[in-house]
Chain A
């Protein structure tokens, strides 16, 4: 979906993509938190007017909902592209998990941006629409993880395991690791998510569980 600025200029109006607007939304929340985010700030970042954003989304709340919903859809699309021929399901799952935090915008200041985005997420329970959106995202993500674990079971990469429970534990580990990583202090080395994944999955790998 795209939108045009008012036709005051000569020639074709400039088009602003949803992606550019959503990136500005993430950047704004990431830099200074949800409370400080304004339509003016996003408009300035994108290079359009506040009115253009109002016409497209209506309100700040709807714009933020659209940004996070769009991001979740992109992540789901990514998983289906992230399994090249020859990659096993567990390898694809590990790649997917390590992609999730990296999908956040503004990778340069990732720690602080991620902390502010996560702070927004955990406090969104006061706004039912946001809480429902994040809860649905977690549910969808859990199903995707379970789907890959089921494939690993079918392809004999995993020994006997309750993939529903295992998927939820892996998802919680991802969320906790992201929170921990965003604290961004050198005093405690953060454990890479790929290592956490390997630690949790190791006892269930076929080569181990069959031993």
Chain B
């Protein structure tokens, strides 16, 4: 649902020049900040303090530039967050494309992906307190229709990826014909729901919960024994 700092960030917009401290000037070419650095700073700020902590000043401080430099590049805080979400969308869509939907064991691929520990996932943090902030950001940001549209696209990409693997499993005889879209949606809802519970109660094992859910939701559709 959310992305981590390890994700490669694409270049969007103009490079950002570093601002010199008052009274000093750099000699030679000014330092240029990439979008990756800015999006990384946004990610870190959201992780630590959630949406309320996300201000242009906070990002500028982390990146080492001025608030005005961010305004010049993005126009506003809203536009900066929008660029961050669009970049996340690009990454998630690429990640879905890279999944081997036509591989020899789609059900194994899906189960492995579904039950992967939070700390090993590109789309989650391994720290429940951090994940709670990111989840709260998604919930809060969705008040803006522009953000909501991208967040909805991210959710849809996740459901579609599940469905694609389920369709392959049916095509390869690993599953009987079944309502793959509805099953994919259930898997998605349970995934989000268990993350929310994990935020409240970090004591339970998220991979175990996901494995249990996968077995309850998907395994009844395996071929019947002859």
Q: Which A residues fall within an 8 A CB radius of B?
A: 33, 35, 112, 115-116, 118-119, 121-126, 131, 134-135, 138, 165-166, 168-169, 171-177, 179-180, 182-185, 187-188, 191, 195-196, 199-200, 203-204
CA distance A180 to B187 in the complex (A): 13
Least distance between B24 CB and chain A CB atoms (Å): 38
Interchain pairs with CB closer than 8 A, number: 140
- B148–A176 contact, CB under 8 A? no
Q: Which B residues fall within an 8 A CB radius of A?
A: 50, 52, 128-129, 132-133, 135-136, 138-140, 142-143, 145, 148-149, 151-153, 155-156, 179, 182-183, 185-186, 188-194, 196-197, 199-202, 209, 212-213, 216-217, 220-221
CA distance A138 to B197 in the complex (A): 8
Contacting residues, chain A, for B190 (C-beta < 8 A): 169, 172-173, 176
Q: Given A125-B202, A196-B189, decide whether A119 and B140 contact each other with a Cβ distance below 8 A.
A: yes
Q: Given A176-B190, A188-B155, A196-B189, decide whether A138 and B149 contact each other with a Cβ distance below 8 A.
A: no
Q: Given A119-B140, A125-B202, A177-B193, decide whether A187 and B209 contact each other with a Cβ distance below 8 A.
A: no
- B136–A122 contact, CB under 8 A? yes
| Residue of chain B at shortest CB distance from A191 | B185
- B196–A176 contact, CB under 8 A? yes
CA distance A169 to B148 in the complex (A): 27
- B192–A176 contact, CB under 8 A? yes
- A199–B183 contact, CB under 8 A? yes
Q: Given A138-B197, A172-B209, A176-B188, decide whether A185 and B145 contact each other with a Cβ distance below 8 A.
A: yes
- A35–B200 contact, CB under 8 A? no
- B139–A118 contact, CB under 8 A? yes
Among candidates A124, A171, A200, residue contacting B200 with C-beta atoms closer than 8 Å:
A124
CA distance A148 to B5 in the complex (A): 44
Least distance between B99 CB and chain A CB atoms (Å): 20
| Residue of chain B at shortest CB distance from A138 | B197
Contacting residues, chain A, for B140 (C-beta < 8 A): 33, 115-116, 119
Contacting residues, chain A, for B156 (C-beta < 8 A): 187-188
- A118–B148 contact, CB under 8 A? no
Most buried by B among A33, A131, A179, A195: A179
- B220–A183 contact, CB under 8 A? no
Q: Given A183-B139, A183-B151, A200-B217, decide whether A175 and B212 contact each other with a Cβ distance below 8 A.
A: no
CA distance A142 to B55 in the complex (A): 39
Contacting residues, chain B, for A176 (C-beta < 8 A): 188-194, 196
Most buried by B among A122, A176, A196: A122
Closest 9 CB pairs of A and B: A176-B193, A203-B220, A175-B193, A176-B189, A172-B193, A176-B192, A185-B148, A185-B152, A119-B136
Contacting residues, chain B, for A125 (C-beta < 8 A): 128-129, 132, 199-200, 202
Most buried by B among A112, A115, A131, A169: A169
Write 5 A-B pairs (CB below 8 A) sorted by A numbering: A122-B199, A173-B190, A176-B194, A179-B135, A187-B148
| Residue of chain B at shortest CB distance from A177 | B189
Contacting residues, chain B, for A138 (C-beta < 8 A): 197, 200-201
Among candidates A115, A119, A179, residue contacting B192 with C-beta atoms closer than 8 Å:
A179
Most buried by A among B129, B190, B199, B212: B190
Q: Given A138-B200, A176-B196, decide whether A199 and B209 contact each other with a Cβ distance below 8 A.
A: no
- B139–A182 contact, CB under 8 A? yes
Among candidates B133, B142, B217, residue contacting A184 with C-beta atoms closer than 8 Å:
B142
Contacting residues, chain A, for B132 (C-beta < 8 A): 122-123, 125-126
Least distance between A181 CB and chain B CB atoms (Å): 10
CA distance A100 to B186 in the complex (A): 18
Contacting residues, chain A, for B197 (C-beta < 8 A): 138, 172, 175
